[in-house]
Amino acid sequence: MKPDPKGGYREAYIASFAGFAPAEDPRLVAVITIDEPVQIYGGLTAAPCFSKVMEFALQHLEITPSQEKRNTSDRVVPE
């Protein structure tokens, strides 16, 4: 639910995802927020965007990513 400028709340959502990298020695943090996404869950909408942003940032800054890379594209909750 989002605040309605006219008062109260309206049926709309904001999806978000926050994370850091690399996992062993964090040097970057990012928060992705999507206003009124089609799918309302941040793990389905904002997390893939986070992954692409963080991958670019790590390469651009020449930061070695985590030793173990897990493919979580098909899971919302880690093992």
Task: Give the model confidence (pLDDT) of 19-62 as tens digits.
Answer: 999 988 899 999 999 999 999 899 999 999 999 999 999 999 99
> Tens digits of per-residue pLDDT, 64-73?
877 765 555 6
**pTM for the predicted model, two decimal places:** 0.74
Neighbours of 6 (CB within 10 A): 6
* Domain count along the chain: 1
Longest CA span, the chain? 50
In a domain, 4, yes or no: no
Residue 72 within any structural domain of the chain:
no
- Confirm if 36 and 14 have CB atoms less than 8 A apart: yes
Q: Does a structural domain hold residue 52? A: yes
One-letter identity of residue 3: P
Q: How long a stretch of residues is the chain?
A: 79
Domain annotation covers residue 73: no
The residue segments making up the domain with residue 22 are 10-60
Is 23 part of a structural domain of the chain?
Answer: yes
